[in-house]
Amino acid sequence: MADAPEAPDKSGSRIREMFSQIADRYDFMNHFLSLGTDVYWRARAVRFWQPRVSGPALDVCTGTGDVALALWRHDRGGRQVWGTDFTHPMVRLAARKARRRTRQAERWRRPLPIFLTADTLRLPFPDDAFALVCVAFGIRNVEATEAALAEMTRVCRPGGCVGVLEFAVPTWPPWKQIYLAYFRHVLPRLGQLLARNRSQAYHYLPSSVAVYPQREDFCRLMESAGLTNVRFRPLTGGVAVMYRGEKPSA
C-alpha cells in the first residue's frame, strides 16, 4: 500500500513569501503551464457563480486579480467588485492591471475593481456585505480551509453565493495517469526553470493538490460552513472543479 502524500507547509509566512517571489511571473506561468486553459476556467466559473441577489462581489486570494477582472467584465449592472489577497506584491500588480482599464471603465460607466491587502481568515468587511464571495485556485493555500469558508460565508449576504474554483485530480483512469505524469514530473521542473524562486513554488503545487479535499468531500466542507444547495461541476476532464453554495435567506 502506497504511503499517503505528505501535506505541504501552508503556514502564512511560507505562502506569503512564496507568492511574493513569483508575483512578477505569475500570470505568464499560469497561462503557459495550463496552455491558456486557465482563462476558460475563470470565464466558466464566473457564469456558474452568478448569485440570485444583487450587490457587490468579493474575490478573496485574488492574486493578480484575474477573477475580479473577469467578474467586472461579465457584469452589466455596475456591480462593484473587490479583490483581497494577503500578498502585497500580488495586490499591487492587480491594481495596476485594473488601472490599465480606466478608459474602458469610463466607456462602460462601471467602477473599476478595488484591491486590498487582507487575510482571507480575517476579512475587513461587515457581515452580509456581498452578493457573491468567490475564490479561484487560492483556498487550497489558506492555512485553515474550514475557517476560510466560514469567513467567506460570514461576509456573504443571505441568498448570495459562495463560489470556489480549484484544481483536482481526474477520476477517469487513462486521463488521470496522463495528468499525474505532467503534474508531478513536467510542471514542477518547467515551473522552477521559468520562475526561479527559493520556495519551490511549482513543487508545492502538485503536493498541495494531492492532499486537498475534492468534489463531494469539499462540498461537505462548504455545507459545514452553513451553505446550502451546494453543488460542483468538473472542467477539462476533472483537472479543475467549480463549486457553489448559497447562504440561506434570513
What is the spatial distance between Cα 72 and Cα 65, in angstroms, rounded to a whole number?
Answer: 10
Which residues are within 8 A (CB) of 231 and not within 5 positions of it... i.e. 6 or more apart?
219, 243, 244, 245
Average of per-residue pLDDT across 80-100: 96
CB 64 within 8 A of CB 97: yes
Edge to edge, the sheet with strand 57-60 lists: 114-117, 81-85, 57-60, 130-136, 156-167, 240-246, 228-235
Cα dist from 50 to 53, 54, 134, 203, 249, whole Å: 9, 10, 10, 34, 16
Cell reading at 49 = 457563480
Residue 76 has pLDDT above 50, yes or no: yes
What is the spatial distance between Cα 149 and Cα 161, in angstroms, rounded to a whole number?
Answer: 12
Walk me through the domains of the chain, giving residue ranges and CATH numbers.
12-246 (3.40.50.150)
- Per-residue pLDDT tens for 113-137? 999 999 999 999 999 999 999 999 9
Cα dist from 28 to 23, 53, 139, whole Å: 10, 35, 21
Which has more confidence, 111 or 30? 111
Which residues are within 8 A (CB) of 25 and not within 5 positions of it... i.e. 6 or more apart?
194, 195
pLDDT band at 2 (very low <50, low <70, confident <90, very high): very low
Which residues are within 8 A (CB) of 63 and not within 5 positions of it... i.e. 6 or more apart?
19, 26, 85, 87, 90, 94, 137, 138
Region of 95 (left: φ > 0; alpha: ψ -120 to 50; beta: rest) is alpha
- Per-residue pLDDT tens for 16-37? 888 788 788 878 777 877 888 9
pLDDT band at 4 (very low <50, low <70, confident <90, very high): very low
The per-residue pLDDT for 6 is 63
The per-residue pLDDT for 196 is 62
Average of per-residue pLDDT across 53-77: 94
CB 155 within 8 A of CB 123: yes
3-state helix, strand, coil in the chain (%, to 5): 50, 20, 35
pTM summary value:
0.92
Average pLDDT score over the chain: 90
- Per-residue burial over 186-209, b if 16 or more Cβ lie within 10 Å, else e, is ebbeebeeebebebebbbbbbbbb
Cell reading at 135 = 475564490
What is the spatial distance between Cα 35 and Cα 209, in angstroms, rounded to a whole number?
Answer: 19
Residue 146 has pLDDT above 90, yes or no: yes
Tell me the β-bridge partners of 134.
59, 163
Closest CA to 138 of 1, 42, 28, 3: 42
Residue 205 has pLDDT above 90, yes or no: no
pLDDT band at 162 (very low <50, low <70, confident <90, very high): very high
The per-residue pLDDT for 30 is 79
